[in-house]
Structure 1
Amino acid sequence: MATSRLLRTAGTVLTATALLISGCSSGSPSSGAAASRNPASGGTASAGTAPAPATSTLKPLPTAVPAALRPYYDQKLTWRECGVVGFECTTMKAPLDYEHPSAATDLKLAVSRKKATGPGDRLGSLMVNPGGPGGSAIDYLQQYAPQPEAVRARYDMVAMDPRGVARSEPVTCLSNAQMDDFTRVDQTPDDAAEADRLTSAFRTFAQGCLRRSGARLGHVSTAESARDMDILRAVLGDEKLTYVGASYGTFLGATYAGLFPSRVGRLVLDGAMDPALPARTMNRDQTAGFNTAFTAFAKDCAKQRDCPLGTGGPEEAGRRLSALFKKLDAHPAPTGGPRTLTESLATSGVTAAMYDEGAWPVLREYLAEAQKGDGRGLLALSDSYYERDPDGTYANQMFANPAVNCLDLPGAFSSPDEVRAALPAFRKASPVFGESFAWAALNCAYWPVKPTGAAHRITARGAAPILVVGTTRDPATPYPWARSLAAQLSSATLLTYDGDGHTAYGRGSDCIDTAINTYLLESTPPPPDKTCT
């Protein structure tokens, strides 16, 4: 069962394939990032509708560093060799609570870098974040970001695992065995008893996070992570921030720009989120985004000889996939081991493959196997989504994700009755995924820490030119979000990739890669509204 569909790059997804979101985050002006609030932006609307986008705007922090924070900005980092050859690692101190900094409660945040390789003059540091929230930026850096060569030659490539994530004071919630049980819970309840089991699972998860993570749970917001990035920028010796953020990383980067517009250097926001959207609207938009991706998959599948969903197009494909899910709901499929493939696990596996069209042939194969009663393939895709290793160990991503999301934004729903009332709108957005995505969005209703953020616009007035990138058939960050963010940011240029999959940079389009590399190396954005294929 997915408590949150994750926003993460296709590169990190297809190592094993995939991720999702559902309580995905939006604006969080917490911890001193003052924003004028629109009370309606995060409140409850009528059960079947979503609140309107926010009209409040994230306000910048004072440019002068407060005296209480000066020790953090003046700290010296001690680097050591680590991990992959050529990379260095260190830890950086940051206050748990920016409003009440205290050495007794400081966080230690993990940082890694790969120095510029040359030739050419060094341009400074380039920070990267692959999304999530909850994705390890260090893992991403060490596995994928030493490319492209022209960029890494001129920049020190740098990553910091955000607070609560991976190596940086990770949030934890359940044991591995408890997570196995959690992922199997029916996410399309057929009656009140099944709905009670689902809400009980959400409560158990939330209380486990509080019990195991304590005070950290109230201080893992996006705004706080953006402030951590400013400390890192300063201790690295950079006057301004150069940054490539993908998926949720675009919201982190945009938040930085909103808080510190005068310190913006070259920012690439690829697979953009819209911070002005309340949670329910965001979840419904993303449901439609996955439907768009599934339609593209179904059209492609119908052209292949091995298509297990028929040749009649998206409607037939949707009916056949829904029938498979219903069958698995009643009779989970064996997998050759002690675990079986349930409807919830199969749904995670299928949506995982929507992140990259390169996974479509594998998905066709695994769907055919599942139709014949073999659930091993779809279970493997689901495990990759949950970051579950073959030995049964779960990474921290599924814990950090709702911890950030539920702090950043009031929940999409406050009760099962609200979900039921909204089901027609979600089913309209996606006949295949709508019901499960709607119920998954109930998770924040039971979160033990109150949200500190609300939906808001980000203008970042005074910032240097920012590059926003959107993909037309992106499932996880629908293209309209990129258009909206580009319109909000006062200095943004929108670059469009007319294609499939999640995010665009480094995924095979020379046009996209050339435009982004030119911007990073020469500070020259592409022409307005440039479209690549």
Structure 2
Amino acid sequence: MMSAPRRPAGAPSRDRSDQQLAGSDAAVRRGTRRGFAALCLAIASMLVLSACSLPFLPQPTAKPTTSTVDPSIAASAPEGLEKYYSQTVEWSSCEGGMQCATIQIPMDYDDPDSADIELAAIKMTSTGTKKGSVLVNPGGPGGSGVDFVKDAGNTHFTQKLRTNFDVVGFDPRGVKRSSPVTCLTDSERDAAREMVFRKETDAGLADALAFNKSVADKCAEKTGPVLGEIDTVSAAKDLDILRAVVNDAKLNYLGYSYGTFLGSTYATLFPDNVGRLVLDGAVDPSISNEELTAGQARAFEKALRAYVASCQSQNQCPLSGSVDNGIQEIRELINAVEQNPQTAKDGRLVTGSEFVNGMYLPLYDDQSWPALTQALESAFSGDVSQMLRIADLGADRDQSGKYTSNSAFAFNAINCLDYPMVSDTAAMRAEEARLKQESPTFGSYFAYGGINCQDWPYQPKRTPAPVEYTGSEPIVVIGTTGDPATPLEWSQSLRKQLDNAALVTWEGEGHTAYGRSNTCVSTAVDDYFVDGKLPQDGLQC
């Protein structure tokens, strides 16, 4: 949640997803903010975790409504986009007592008359006197805001926020219900996760490139021309149309992980339309893809050390000796699986990459560390099935073998449009050497990300650059000291770039803060959204 690599989230906040392409295995970039509710309960479905008890706040049944945009808000439409800003939206009853709708948006903002696509949205209506709406993005890129609000809305957002605002989630263009990127069948995805490419060899790298090209060709064939229009700038323009159709003169927005990148992009494009923006677990938009990768590799190594120290302080821990000794035991276990992939109880092959994928996900939330302990304990005993099950959760694969999202494909497609990537063989091998030094456990799994986009059918649309925000409304940025997917220094950097902003820091472990941290953070966010009270810049929670 950047959730997002930037899924690294992101859960991440693009949440750790399966790596469908054969480049970097670090699809954690940015991360998706699944939230404690979704992640913890999902892992608890296979492991016994008493820490996953959650409060439930009832959601009243929402009646179907028709939303007509106020003429004064529709008048804010950029030239040529008037029909999108003034559209009438039908909100119908859907799962969980919420309302769902589809919003019309142009496929190509450079030629808005060429074709329309649909954006899926869900609304959890306010329980009191409504002050407006808060639009939410959980990260990725590739995370579903519809699923986030539907699955975690009743537990993730405070009663104060829900009383005063509609909470609106949406699937960004290219994601799940919104003109989704489509590439491989479920069986092909299973097969891709079992592939091993020895990219340190010329032959292995050539095989990886050939496989990537075959997947890219399928993505282009099955998705169509929208594949070239799912960049973050276009998604930020969609966000302004959403602001209008929910009848808000200013955008109120909560973005996690990659969602902070979407939010800061919006602030650059529409500074006068910024209302109250909270950017939690920030991505630094000024740094390159390679710098993002290095930052995450270091942060995940740091998070692993925090986990090992916590594990060794408890009675039931399979890791012995000092923290360094425990880390070394994990590295030896990973290496053993890397050299000799193992078979899980369901007959599927678990490679070193998939084993590491299973390790990433619990590091997004320290409440899920017991799940990692149990999976490691089983793996040391020769059974990798639990680690594969956790990897499946990150890949959105259910126990029947069905993949319930397209997050991995959307993640790669959006990144290829958002970031120029280094794909020169010598440079990638040099990067791998640096990553191994900075993150001895995970570094090699973050390397070779450049080949994911080398044969992509569309070229990048942006060059990394600092945010240029000129709006009068201050923005809140939140960072977490132990965030593995979006390290704290990225939030600190974004706050400086925005200038008109306040930074809140949570001293905790895991990815992002609001909804999983403490009352200091939730009070600061709620008072800002509801009462317009900007938290003290530099607030430590």
Q: What TM-score comes out, normalization by structure 1 length? A: 0.87
1:81 aligns with 2:105: no
Which of 122, 133, 143 in structure 1 is aligned with 2:141? 133
Correspondence 1:247-258 to 2 at 5 A: 247-258=257-268
Task: Give 1:477's aligned amino acid.
Answer: T
CA contact (8 A) 2:43 2:371 kept: no
CA contact (8 A) 1:10 1:501 kept: no
The aligned residue for residue 270 of structure 1 is: 280
1:287 aligns with 2:297: yes
Q: Which has the higher contact order (CA 8 A, sep 6+)?
A: 1
1:465 aligns with 2:474: yes
User: CA 1:252/1:182 → structure 2, altered by over 3 Å: closer, same or farther?
Assistant: same
User: CA 1:264/1:188 → structure 2, altered by over 3 Å: closer, same or farther?
Assistant: farther
- Residue 187 of structure 1, CA deviation: 5.8
- Residue 14 of structure 1, CA deviation: 3.6
- Residue 439 of structure 1, CA deviation: 2.7
User: CA 1:154/1:112 → structure 2, altered by over 3 Å: closer, same or farther?
Assistant: same
CA contact (8 A) 1:266 1:464 kept: yes
1:193 counterpart SS class: helix
Alpha-carbon separation, structure 1, partners of 2:106 and 2:264? 21
1:94 counterpart SS class: strand
User: CA 1:416/1:301 → structure 2, altered by over 3 Å: closer, same or farther?
Assistant: farther
1:191 aligns with 2:214: no
Deviations 1:75-134 (A, max 9, x none): 11011111222x1111111000111012x510011111122111xx32111111100111
CA contact (8 A) 1:334 1:373 kept: no
1:431 counterpart SS class: coil
Alpha-carbon separation, structure 2, partners of 1:272 and 1:367? 30
The aligned residue for residue 507 of structure 2 is: 498
Task: Give 1:16's aligned amino acid.
Answer: A
Alpha-carbon separation, structure 2, partners of 1:201 and 1:163? 26
Q: Which moved more, 1:443-452 or 1:156-165?
A: 443-452
Task: Give 2:33's aligned amino acid.
Answer: T
1:16 counterpart SS class: helix
Alpha-carbon separation, structure 2, partners of 1:148 and 1:157? 11
The aligned residue for residue 480 of structure 1 is: 489
Which of 306, 317, 339 in structure 2 is aligned with 1:296? 306
Task: Give 1:322's aligned amino acid.
Answer: R
The aligned residue for residue 8 of structure 1 is: 32
CA contact (8 A) 2:506 2:513 kept: yes
2:172 counterpart SS class: coil
The aligned residue for residue 440 of structure 2 is: 431
Alpha-carbon separation, structure 2, partners of 1:263 and 1:190? 49
Structure 1: tracts of 5 or more residues without a match: 19-62
Alpha-carbon separation, structure 2, partners of 1:474 and 1:446? 32
Alpha-carbon separation, structure 2, partners of 1:182 and 1:475? 26
1:149 aligns with 2:159: yes
Alpha-carbon separation, structure 2, partners of 1:345 and 1:214? 30
Deviations 1:139-163 (A, max 9, x none): 1111222421111111111112111
The aligned residue for residue 402 of structure 1 is: 412
The aligned residue for residue 446 of structure 1 is: 455
1:182 aligns with 2:192: yes
1:92 aligns with 2:103: yes
Alpha-carbon separation, structure 2, partners of 1:89 and 1:10? 20
1:391 counterpart SS class: coil
CA RMSD, 1 decimal: 1.7
1:457 counterpart SS class: coil
2:285 counterpart SS class: coil
1:163 counterpart SS class: coil
Deviations 1:134-185 (A, max 9, x none): 1110111112224211111111111121111111111111111111122223
1:349 aligns with 2:372: no
CA contact (8 A) 1:283 1:441 kept: no
Structure 2: tracts of 5 or more residues without a match: 1-17, 22-26, 45-74
The aligned residue for residue 71 of structure 1 is: 83
Alpha-carbon separation, structure 1, partners of 2:477 and 2:234? 22
Deviations 1:194-233 (A, max 9, x none): 3333323322222221111120110001111111111111
Alpha-carbon separation, structure 2, partners of 1:167 and 1:352? 24
1:366 aligns with 2:375: yes
- Residue 188 of structure 1, CA deviation: 5.8
CA contact (8 A) 1:471 1:500 kept: yes
Alpha-carbon separation, structure 1, partners of 2:372 and 2:303? 13
Alpha-carbon separation, structure 1, partners of 2:360 and 2:350? 15
1:122 aligns with 2:130: yes
Alpha-carbon separation, structure 1, partners of 2:460 and 2:183? 18
Alpha-carbon separation, structure 1, partners of 2:280 and 2:197? 30
Task: Give 1:301's aligned amino acid.
Answer: C
1:169 aligns with 2:161: no
Alpha-carbon separation, structure 1, partners of 2:525 and 2:80? 38
1:208 counterpart SS class: helix
CA contact (8 A) 1:17 1:352 kept: no
Correspondence 1:20-35 to 2 at 5 A: none
User: Sequence identity, in percent?
Assistant: 37
Aligned length: 482
1:127 counterpart SS class: strand
Task: Give 1:137's aligned amino acid.
Answer: G
Q: Which moved more, 1:416-425 or 1:170-179?
A: 416-425
Alpha-carbon separation, structure 2, partners of 1:389 and 1:206? 25
- Residue 67 of structure 1, CA deviation: 3.2
Alpha-carbon separation, structure 1, partners of 2:198 and 2:299? 19
CA contact (8 A) 1:10 1:503 kept: no
- Residue 266 of structure 1, CA deviation: 0.6
CA contact (8 A) 2:194 2:349 kept: no
- Residue 440 of structure 1, CA deviation: 4.0
The aligned residue for residue 414 of structure 1 is: 423
User: CA 1:466/1:270 → structure 2, altered by over 3 Å: closer, same or farther?
Assistant: same
